[in-house]
Structure 1
């Protein structure tokens, strides 16, 4: 893990502040922020959080504030694209709060940001981590039609623990339906993330992986759940690194996921996973070599 520091880190932070933009990296105090922003072999990556700092949902694992929604900033898509171009990011991740209060739940705003980045920085790979849009296919299709390189949506945990972990408006089957639609209607890589340490059983984790592979999800990440504050869910267990490594092998070698990033400090948007996609999409490496590149970067 690389501490947030250096000229590159300062440059990224300044570009974001100048445009009043928000990143999940900062909002979630991500432990990988220094590595991602500073980069190791290139310009690095950043995860932008769209549509404000407040969420319409209240998931019990998440530290983002709930309620008191602000109007969308119509300049945000262009401002994000300008920041990406100025910083020279080779990979950008877009995510957002949930905006159930909006007629299209923010799908159009999300899609416009993708298009603005593509126009301003056509060489930049774009990954999006989207809400479930309440499982409405027309809204998910707005994201698909904007043609990002990776479309991610997180199931977060096993089916049994969806509540109390997630807001009741979310759900396991609803999340699977979003990922299934993306896989059927898009050429983008599909991706999801699972937190461990919430009280899940091994057979439940395995079944989740099976369910994800049955609908063709390409990439899965595992990370340790960490309690953001005392008002959030308690950590049920701190999972040993060997267990994370076992799930990586199960995902890749047994079940056939293209890539699995798995470790206590891994998060959904994680530099090693992004390097894997870059190796496939930009360098045209084969699967094994792309995995090797990603693993080497995370050592």
Structure 2
């Protein structure tokens, strides 16, 4: 009886680790960051498909502001290994707690959804699963292989956790040959203690670098949020760290506070400041940069992948002609 009551409570309290925190001020959003509520037919169809296959999307779980636009176009980012995360990042709206067992039918269900939605490019992310011996690496592998079998022409982008203290996990995921390997730094290193306390900045940098060592042809990608109190010079140094790891694609978006218990928005970065970051990032050598208030890791991922390939081809053509 006690177990049943505890489980019910865990489901009811989305962020039990944040319940004791004092409420943070919620800043009024500027005009450039407003989005319309999703009401389109395409949105409803995508939502029905997700429910039909018992799938979880980061679009819903993280409260993405672009869900209306993306789901209307039949774009969705699937979140595997459940909807409960073992980490408790101060910025994230994904539920925290003790995860359930892995759903062994999930790889096949995701593959079916990819086929039904006619996706030419799919993004697969996950919660952190520190409770699993391999951090969920085998499950990532199974999902990638299932999609390849069902829809061979679909390109696959993965957004992974950091596999901290999980030897061999990264190598297994890279060996499954996703087209894009994304792992987000989320914020500058000086913010990690308060924003991303379960992670280690230089471990994440090293993970991205290791992907390129394992497969130099694989595209790598990473993203951060701004508005968390970072200084401009800290962002520029982070760009240099990513380029040292040979990361191809960087995304920069505005942090939006999910609830009063989450980390507060320190500032709303203007569109002009985002444009400045984009200009500097290209100058530092990134093949692709997406920087705007509503930029998210998987926003426009399919179009961005096509541009990423074109940028590499142009770079290689130029290098071959010199």
Q: TM-score, normalised by structure 1?
A: 0.89
Q: Which runs of 5+ in 2 are unaligned?
A: 1-34, 316-322
3-state DSSP class of the match of 2:281? helix
Aligned partner of 1:267 in structure 2 is 296
Aligned partner of 2:149 in structure 1 is 119
In the alignment, structure 1 residue 276 sits paired with structure 2 residue 304 = yes
In the alignment, structure 1 residue 228 sits paired with structure 2 residue 262 = no
In the alignment, structure 1 residue 45 sits paired with structure 2 residue 62 = no
Deviation, 1:135, is 5.4
Aligned residues: 280
1:205-259 deviation line (CA, Å, top 9, x unaligned): 100000100110000000111111111111111111111000000001x101011
3-state DSSP class of the match of 2:158? strand
Aligned partner of 2:191 in structure 1 is 161
Contact 2:77 2:298 in 1 (8 A): yes
In the alignment, structure 1 residue 14 sits paired with structure 2 residue 48 = yes
- Distance in 1, matches of 2:63 and 2:80, equals 17
After TM superposition, list the pairs within 5 Å mapping 1:26-105 onto structure 2.
26-39=60-73, 44-105=74-135
1:16-42 deviation line (CA, Å, top 9, x unaligned): 111110101111221112222222xxx
Q: Which runs of 5+ in 1 are unaligned?
A: 288-299
Q: Over alpha carbons, which structure has the higher Rg? A: 2
3-state DSSP class of the match of 1:133? coil
- Distance in 1, matches of 2:296 and 2:117, equals 23
Aligned partner of 2:210 in structure 1 is 181
Q: CA RMSD in A?
A: 1.8
In the alignment, structure 1 residue 24 sits paired with structure 2 residue 58 = yes
Deviation, 1:278, is 2.2
Aligned partner of 1:250 in structure 2 is 280
- Distance in 2, matches of 1:30 and 1:180, equals 28
Relative contact order higher in (CA < 8 Å, ≥ 6 apart): 2
Contact 2:134 2:167 in 1 (8 A): no
Contact 1:135 1:174 in 2 (8 A): no
- Distance in 1, matches of 2:227 and 2:200, equals 19
Q: Which residue of the other structure, out of 182, 188, 197, is the alignment partner of 1:152?
A: 182
Q: Which residue of the other structure, out of 137, 140, 151, is the alignment partner of 1:107?
A: 137
- Distance in 2, matches of 1:167 and 1:16, equals 32
- Distance in 1, matches of 2:52 and 2:311, equals 33
Contact 1:153 1:175 in 2 (8 A): yes
Deviation, 1:4, is 2.8
- Distance in 1, matches of 2:312 and 2:189, equals 36
Aligned partner of 1:294 in structure 2 is none
